[in-house]
Amino acid sequence: MSLDGKVAIVTGSGRGLGLAYAQELARQGASVVVNDVDAATAAEAVASIEGTGGKAVAVVAPVGSTETAKQLVRTAVDTYGRLDILVTNAGVLRDTVLWKMSDDDFDTVIGVHLRGTFTTVREAAIHLREQGEGGRIITIGSPTGQRGTFGQTNYAAAKAGIVGMVRTWAQELKKAGITANVVIPVAATAMTATVPYFAAAVEADAAGEPMPAFFRHDLGFGTSDDVAGLVAYLASDAAAGVTGQAIGVGGDRLQLWSHPEPVVTAYRDGGWTYDALEDEFPTLVGESLQSVGERFPALPEELQRPRP
């Protein structure tokens, strides 16, 4: 098995995508520290891994604080003697439009997604550098962090921030042989289950049936298990040369996201005054303005569902 002898932490792994990551890492030979805020959910996740011959232990604690980060790393080392892989998956949602978003809505999402990723990666990096054998940091992003989504100021900020941190960590941790990457999943989750556009795919997944080809191929939308393979690959020695990347996966589709690059560069002696911009901006930049938000193709008629 590709991860035989490795030890992994997966935050937010009691259910959904995180559980799929933990199960796949265990299937590939890793011993796994499962994390959830609910003890019963965490115990079920551990049992699901042990039931197929894997090794797992649970840490029941909310991600975000330094104390939880220390507890996760300490549990891995005390239980299995080492740490090799960290997957930061834990997250929450507090969706609403900007003018209705409260301080708590914003702080809660930033605290779990962004601060939780930072504190847990920091603690793991300290141990991995001391251990001196390299390691793998795998964070979880979102298309929302790449392009924005209506009603998700907090979530978009957190997921975009994770990508920025990973690009920095890839530079800082390279000498220690530690890679850092972002996985951007597109899959049936509790969040997508509420979106009418995905209803036919979510219904099929819940019934244990194959998703329609339109979702899997055209849209790159699949199941949690479709994402787990990429997480396990990035955790392996085979991906030692992959770092600082944002990689999307869903259904039958794999995508490498570009880093932001200038699409127009123009120079003007003396700089760009208001008058100069008023005269030249429409011609220089107007046709190259970038789109925002995700754009989905029209659903085939047979996959449409009536709105509630």
Any domain includes 27: yes
Cα separation, 62 vs 80, in Å, equals: 22
Residue 229's domain comprises 7-187+223-257
Any domain includes 208: no
Cα angle for residues 215, 221, 223 (degrees, 5° grid):
115
Residues known to be catalytic: 142, 155, 159
Any domain includes 302: no
Any domain includes 54: yes
Cα angle for residues 237, 53, 19 (degrees, 5° grid):
70
Cα angle for residues 307, 295, 104 (degrees, 5° grid):
75
CA 306 from centroid of its chain's CA atoms = 31
pLDDT in tens, the chain (308 residues): 799 999 999 999 999 999 999 999 999 999 999 999 999 999 999 999 999 999 999 999 999 999 999 999 999 999 999 999 999 999 999 999 999 999 999 999 999 999 999 999 999 999 999 999 999 999 999 999 999 999 999 999 999 999 999 999 999 999 999 999 999 999 988 778 878 889 999 899 889 999 999 999 999 999 999 999 999 999 999 999 999 999 999 999 999 999 999 999 999 999 999 999 999 999 999 999 999 998 888 899 888 887 66
Encoding tokens for residue 87?
């997957």
Any domain includes 36: yes
Encoding tokens for residue 222?
């699949």
Residue whose pair of structure tokens reads 């030890």 in the numeric block = 7
CA 82 from centroid of its chain's CA atoms = 24
Any domain includes 204: no
Dihedral sign computed on CA atoms, order 56, 59, 64, 66: negative
Count: domains in the chain: 1
For helices 224-235 and 16-27, what crossing angle results, to 10°? 50
Any domain includes 20: yes
pLDDT per residue over 86-121, tens digit each?
999 999 999 999 999 999 999 999 999 999 999 999
The SS3 of residue 239 is helix
Residue 65's beta-bridge partner residues? 63
Q: What is the pTM of this model?
A: 0.94
The two beta strands, 246-250 and 253-257, are antiparallel
Check which CATH number belongs to the domain holding 36 and give it: 3.40.50.720
The SS3 of residue 56 is strand
Cα angle for residues 170, 241, 84 (degrees, 5° grid):
70
Any domain includes 139: yes
